[in-house]
Amino acid sequence: MNNQDTVQVTMTVNGRTRVEQVEPRLLLAHFLRDHLGLTGTHIGCDTSQCGACTVLLDGQAVKSCTVLAVQADHQAVTTVEGLGQRGGLHPVQQAFWDKHGLQCGFCTPGVMMTAVGLLQQNPTPTSEEIREGLDGVICRCTGYETIVRAVAEAAAVMAGEAGPSAAAANE
């Protein structure tokens, strides 16, 4: 840590209040990974293109490599660790598992957080809308097809349906 001009930030991360002293230039992604040890949030690029670092900031999907920790002061952050854990998976996590929405798993936390953000804004997306909604993420493994299926499945489950009967799931 460079000891010049640190500032205090207070953040609610996955429901827990964290108070840390940080350099203003510290990226939120590094704050989560290096200060809080929440390494589920990954960094895949430098230019806000890949979305691997996506977290929820006050409920909205944002790229944490392009947010300063100080900008998130007094806000709530949800990372993949806070989305759900074994025994209590979020429907998006469950759907990614069920539909093989991941291979290497590196982009996956960011993709899932983006999907959560997408479903908040559009709870019943068509498969085309899912593909558009995932424009802010890059996955090199899956070819996206199973990710699209997983998001459709999650949408259906979250809408309270038993199976993937929503518009996109069977397309």
CA 130 to each of CA 15, 60, 64, 100, 171: distance values in angstroms, whole numbers, following the listed order: 28, 17, 21, 16, 12
Scan residues 119-138 and list those touching another protein (CB under 8 A). 121, 127-128, 130-138
Comparing CB distances to another protein, the nearer of 58 and 161 is 58
Per 3-state DSSP, the chain is made up of helix, strand and coil in percentages (nearest 5) of 35, 15, 45
Among 10, 97, 123, 165, binds another protein (CB under 8 A): 97
Report how far residue 171's alpha carbon sits from residue 155's, in angstroms, rounded to the nearest whole number. 14
24 is a site residue for another protein (CB under 8 A): yes
Size of the site for another protein (CB under 8 A): 90
Amino acid at 88: G
Comparing CB distances to another protein, the nearer of 49 and 165 is 49
- CB of 80 vs another protein, minimal distance in Å: 4
Scan residues 62-81 and list those touching another protein (CB under 8 A). 62-63, 65-68, 70-71, 73, 79-81
Q: Where are the beta strands (DSSP E) in 26-135?
A: 54-57, 60-63, 76-78
Does residue 83 contact residue 117 with C-beta atoms inside 8 Å? Answer: no
Comparing CB distances to another protein, the nearer of 83 and 155 is 83
Comparing CB distances to another protein, the nearer of 11 and 27 is 27
Report how far residue 101's alpha carbon sits from residue 98's, in angstroms, rounded to the nearest whole number. 8
Scan residues 4-23 and list those touching another protein (CB under 8 A). 4-5, 7, 23
Does residue 33 contact residue 80 with C-beta atoms inside 8 Å? Answer: no
Q: What is the CA radius of gyration of the chain?
A: 16
Among 12, 18, 76, 89, binds another protein (CB under 8 A): 89
Among 104, 159, 163, 165, binds another protein (CB under 8 A): 104
- CB of 71 vs another protein, minimal distance in Å: 6
